């Protein structure tokens, strides 16, 4: 393992009915701004639970944070927060709401800096306190220090690093009202989050390898039940906790990481509006196919430990792993080819050009540049 320093400061409050404990984690007299998405929390009762738990607090509400949150929306929230002189933010919703809230927290702490400038420098130097009530498991944003923001004007989407939420409340019952599409996209996100940390270099950490394999095996096992019409509390608990563990930085300590799939996927979202989870389902099998020799050892380890596949030639087992992952994404009801989304060579070339112009190099070997991104995407037409 490589040297590392690790600290995760988020207090995770997990389980049925935990939203009612919200006031235990917010100091009396705090002026809160609550951030929301499009209104689903009013339909599923989460809004009422939150407001009941915050009885007696001075609360401001900001609505309208979209999936793949935009800096244009963040600017409006920052303006409201400044006018109301809020002390703390509470994101109520999914990862998009919390990602936006992380940037709002930075914008309020740096009034002289435009939020997009904070994104472009890839880090927030300071933030006001923020926390979350998570309702859609996927991004792991509830227990990590990252966020991803889009700019509609320039059709760009970038990640940046910030602080950790002071606390996050996760009640698996809030997942009961999610649509199958939301759950499918989130499970693709969970699996690829783990793969981006796991499917790199062999022999780095037995502990993290087995941990990552366990999270993936859990999602593969419970996916049909997660998508079922009648939710099971224990299944949804595993689903929600898997999302947190997939990207709360526990799986990445001291090891090489990839993240090329996410970077390519962000471009598909920015340019074509492809949902984040589906962009990963499209790109990842292509990346694994193009980089099969580089990732050979880890692919074969996955075949052995996760698929229990030990017979056949190495090439056959590698091909089986790629087919298995694509089939899994398909079983969720997601597209796995660009053509299924009406995306052709023109978009492929636009993404390759963007990568080349930025001079980026992604992946554990830092070799996924514009040309390699082109090859990966052409594999998925």
Structure confidence at residue 318 (pLDDT): 98
End position of a domain, from candidates 174, 190, 225: 174
Instruction: Identify the pLDDT of residue 169.
Output: 98
pLDDT at 301: 98
What is the overall mean pLDDT for the chain? 97
For residue 4, being part of any structural domain is answered with no
Domain, as residue range, for 120? 11-174
Residue 19 within any structural domain of the chain: yes
Check which CATH number belongs to the domain holding 279 and give it: 1.20.1090.10
Output the pLDDT for position 160: 96
Residues 159 and 224 in one domain: no
CB hemisphere CA count around 251 (13 angstroms): 31
Please say whether the beta carbons of 168 and 19 come within 8 A.
no
Look up the CATH number of the domain holding residue 70: 3.40.50.1970
- Domain match, 146 and 196 both: no
Closest CA to 183 of 243, 96, 249, 261: 243
Inter-axis angle of helices 314-331 and 180-198, nearest 10? 150
Number of domains forming the structure of the chain? 2
What is the structure's pLDDT at 168? 98
Q: Which two tokens stand for residue 381?
A: 């037409």
Q: What is the pLDDT of residue 306?
A: 97
Q: Kindly state whether residue 254 falls inside one of the protein's structural domains.
A: yes
Do 78 and 215 belong to one domain? no
If asked whether residues 223 and 108 sit together in one domain, one would say no
Tokens at 139, concatenated: 């991004």
Split at pLDDT 50, 70, 90, the class of 142 is: very high
Q: Are residues 77 and 135 in the same domain?
A: yes
Give 148-205 pLDDT, tens digit per residue.
999 999 999 999 999 999 999 999 999 999 999 999 999 999 999 999 999 999 999 9
**pTM for the whole structure:** 0.96
* End-to-end CA gap in the chain: 37
Residues 281 and 226 in one domain: yes
Looking at residue 331, its pLDDT comes to 98
What is the structure's pLDDT at 144?
A: 96
Which residue intervals of the chain are DSSP H helices?
40-43, 46-53, 71-84, 95-109, 115-120, 180-198, 206-227, 233-246, 260-272, 276-290, 296-305, 314-331, 345-358, 370-378
15 and 56 belong to one structural domain: yes
Quote the CA–CA distance of 249 and 65 in Å, as a whole number: 25
80-123: pLDDT as tens digits = 999 999 999 999 999 999 999 999 999 999 999 999 999 999 99
Average pLDDT over residues 211-224: 98
193 and 169 both lie in a single domain: no
271 and 290 part of one domain: yes
Q: Are residues 218 and 274 in the same domain?
A: yes
The alpha carbon of 210 is separated from its chain's Cα centroid by a whole number of angstroms, namely: 21
Q: Please give the Cα distance from 174 to 217 (Å, whole number).
A: 23
Around 326, how many Cα atoms within 13 Å sit in the side-chain half-sphere?
17
Instruction: Give me the mean pLDDT over the 264-268 stretch.
Output: 97
Pair (103, 246) in one structural domain: no
Residue 72 within any structural domain of the chain? yes
């Amino acid at each position: 393992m490589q040297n590392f320093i690790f600290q995760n400061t988020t207090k995770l409050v997990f389980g049925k009915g935990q939203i009612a404990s919200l006031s235990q984690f917010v100091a009396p007299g705090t002026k809160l701004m609550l951030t929301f998405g499009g209104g689903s929390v009013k339909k599923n009762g989460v809004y009422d639970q939150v407001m009941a738990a915050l009885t007696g607090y001075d609360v401001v509400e900001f609505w309208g944070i979209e999936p793949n949150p935009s800096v244009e929306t963040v600017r409006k929230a920052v303006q409201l927060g400044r006018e109301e002189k809020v002390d703390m933010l509470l994101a109520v919703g999914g990862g998009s709401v919390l990602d936006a809230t992380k940037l709002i927290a930075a914008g309020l702490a740096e009034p002289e800096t435009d939020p997009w400038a904070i994104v472009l420098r890839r880090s927030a130097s300071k933030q006001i306190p923020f926390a979350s009530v998570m309702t859609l498991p996927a991004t792991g944003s509830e227990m990590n220090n990252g966020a991803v923001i889009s700019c509609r004007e320039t059709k760009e989407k970038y990640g940046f690093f910030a602080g950790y939420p002071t606390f996050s409340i996760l009640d698996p019952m809030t997942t009961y009202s999610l649509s199958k599409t939301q759950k499918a996209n989130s499970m693709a996100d969970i699996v690829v989050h783990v793969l981006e940390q796991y499917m790199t270099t062999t022999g780095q950490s037995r502990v993290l390898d087995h941990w990552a394999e366990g999270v993936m095996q859990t999602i593969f096992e419970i996916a049909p039940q997660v998508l079922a019409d009648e939710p099971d509390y224990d299944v949804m608990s595993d689903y929600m906790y898997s999302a947190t563990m997939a990207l709360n930085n526990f799986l990445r300590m001291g090891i090489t990481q990839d993240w090329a799939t996410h970077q390519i996927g962000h471009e598909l979202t920015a340019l074509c509006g492809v949902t984040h989870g589906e962009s990963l389902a499209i790109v990842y099998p292509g990346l694994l196919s193009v980089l099969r020799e580089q990732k050979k050892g880890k692919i074969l380890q996955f075949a052995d430990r996760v698929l229990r596949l030990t017979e056949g030639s190495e090439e056959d087992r590698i091909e089986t792993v790629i087919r298995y992952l694509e089939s899994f994404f398909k079983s969720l009801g997601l597209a796995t080819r660009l053509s299924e989304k009406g995306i052709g060579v023109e978009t492929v070339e636009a993404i390759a050009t963007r990568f080349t112009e930025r001079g980026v190099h992604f992946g554990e070997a830092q070799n996924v540049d514009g040309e390699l991104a082109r090859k990966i995407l052409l594999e998925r037409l």
